[in-house]
Amino acid sequence: MLNDLKAAVSGFLVGILGGLIGLGGAEFRLPILVGLFAFDALPAVIINKAVSLVVVTFSLPARLGTVSFETILSHWHVIATLLSGSLFGAWFGAGWATRLRSETLFRVLSVLLVMVAFVLFFSHQYSFSGLNFLSGIYLVLTGAVCGFLIGIFAAVMGVAGGELLIPAIVLLFGTDIKTAGSLSLAVSIPTMLMGFARYSRDKSFTVISQQKRFLLVMAAGSVAGVFAGGKLLGIVSTGFLIPLMCLILLISSVKIWKHGK
């Protein structure tokens, strides 16, 4: 019962953080799975992936009130370009993660958390616009390569990858930030399913059936937290919140690195 309560509360708090910055919060969930619940590296990634998939699936319909389905369909070329790389990246990244020793995977996760902290900080501190010099086949190839790298990142960390997808969509395709948020979800769901399918072929995937109750409780808490965080958007100042989140990620990175020793 106590473990269920910890799973629900931690999931809710992570969801609030994610909701406040327009993401699912999986970057903050991963250190909790490792530190608070003592999961090994690969099972933590797989559980994080499963919870992230639930959160993202619930988030997409909620965003249709802000960005219409027709608008998303009108940008089908953006989704197709990124998916052409991200699906392969997710399969490759998940396969690579299953072959790494636990100590090595912990260190990879630590480095990726540092990268997320920097991306989160700079993407919220500075505005950015599209790269107007890219078009045609060059834009398609660049988008596919970016999708491939983001697919690897999302699979290895068990996240949706929105923190990288949104800036990539704005920079490469010149869309506004709200549309980019919805498009990122449309790319994230198939990409996450691909990574999930690859993980299902590894023996570590049994953690899903072993921890089914824990997973469902944390997912429910995370979904509730994301919606609560969205409601707090106009109340909490991101000027203070973003640096604090980045600091949390950096501290978490150090702790996860120590797990790799």
Q: Give the pLDDT band (50/70/90) at residue 237.
A: low
For 19, half-sphere exposure in the C-beta direction (CA atoms, 13 angstrom radius) is 26
How far apart are the C-alpha atoms of 56 and 155, rounded to whole Å? 14
Please tell me the predicted confidence (pLDDT) of residue 206.
93
Q: Which amino acid, 210?
A: Q
pLDDT in tens, 157-171: 998 888 888 888 988
DSSP letter for 53, please.
H
Please tell me the predicted confidence (pLDDT) of residue 129.
62
Please tell me the predicted confidence (pLDDT) of residue 8.
92
- The token pair at 4 is 């269920």
**Is the pLDDT score of 201 beyond 60?**
yes
How far apart are the C-alpha atoms of 247 and 81, rounded to whole Å? 34
pTM, 2 dp: 0.88
Cβ atoms of 220 and 49 within 8 Å: the answer is: no
How far apart are the C-alpha atoms of 11 and 219, rounded to whole Å? 7
**Is the pLDDT score of 1 beyond 90?**
no
Sign of CA dihedral 94, 246, 26, 66: negative
Spatial neighbors of 214 by CB under 8 A, at least 6 apart, are 3, 4, 7, 37, 47
Please tell me the predicted confidence (pLDDT) of residue 191.
95
pLDDT in tens, 85-107: 999 999 999 999 999 999 999 99
Q: Give the pLDDT band (50/70/90) at residue 64.
A: low
Average pLDDT value for residue range 218-233:
82
For 239, half-sphere exposure in the C-beta direction (CA atoms, 13 angstrom radius) is 3
DSSP letter for 55, please.
H
Please tell me the predicted confidence (pLDDT) of residue 132.
64
> To which residue do tokens 């790494």 refer?
100
Sign of CA dihedral 201, 57, 247, 30: negative
- The token pair at 173 is 């395709």
Please tell me the predicted confidence (pLDDT) of residue 134.
67
Q: What is the mean pLDDT of the chain?
A: 86
Q: Give the pLDDT band (50/70/90) at residue 62.
A: low
* Burial zone of 38 (CB within 10 Å; 0-12 exposed, 13-18 middle, 19+ buried): exposed
* Highest mean pLDDT: which range of 54-63, 78-87, 128-137: 78-87
Q: Give the pLDDT band (50/70/90) at residue 113.
A: very high
Average pLDDT value for residue range 134-161:
91
Please tell me the predicted confidence (pLDDT) of residue 200.
93
**Is the pLDDT score of 126 beyond 60?**
no
Average pLDDT value for residue range 43-51:
94
What separation, in Å, do the N-terminal and C-terminal C-alpha atoms of the chain show?
A: 32
**Which of the two residues, 31 and 163, has the higher pLDDT score?**
31
What distances in angstroms separate CA 26 from CA 13, 120, 133, one per listed residue? 11, 13, 34
Please tell me the predicted confidence (pLDDT) of residue 98.
94
